[in-house]
Amino acid sequence: MANPVKRKDFLWMGWGAFAAFLGGAGAATTRFFVPNILYEPSQKFNAGKAEDFPIGVSTLWFKQQRVWIVRSAQGIYALWARCTHLGCTPNWFISEMRFKCPCHGSNYNPAGDVLAGPAPKPLWRCRVEITATGDLVIDKAILENRAGVREKAPFFAEYA
């Protein structure tokens, strides 16, 4: 016949279970006070020298940063490559001078305005800045697409 559990061992098992419970509750309480922060890479990046961008639409940072850099005779702006319909990534077609979204057919001109399709509003422009050293710094965390606002700083950098 198996040995019956002694009273003393039974008490120790009880204290062990209680200690495990307290440890778990303490760990859960400690974790509760640690905020749930998602550390993401910065949305700001240095695109290089502004003078290196020729007039027109540049796809240099399209794959890596999902932006097009557009330079005109007056200055530079950056378009976020995210369709304003449901968020797909449009493509630039230089022969047609427009961005076309492969999902539902929205088309945008180089200014970001909707030419066709279901997109409800223009493409977003990112904050741009040309530093004292001539670097073009783009911040995708600060966006604007309202006509009349997007054509001014900080969403448009004058650059001759």
Binding site for ligand FES (CB under 6 A): 83, 85-88, 101, 103-106, 117-119
Instruction: Give the amino acid at 6.
Output: K
Which CB atom, from 75 or from 118, has the smaller least distance to ligand FES? 118
Which CB atom, from 53 or from 90, has the smaller least distance to ligand FES? 90
Supply the minimum distance, in Å, between the C-beta of residue 41 and ligand FES.
Answer: 24
Contact 67, 80 (CB under 8 A): yes
Which CB atom, from 103 or from 111, has the smaller least distance to ligand FES? 103
**Burial (CB count within 10 angstroms: exposed 0-12, middle 13-18, buried 19+), residue 45:** middle
Supply the minimum distance, in Å, between the C-beta of residue 68 and ligand FES.
Answer: 15
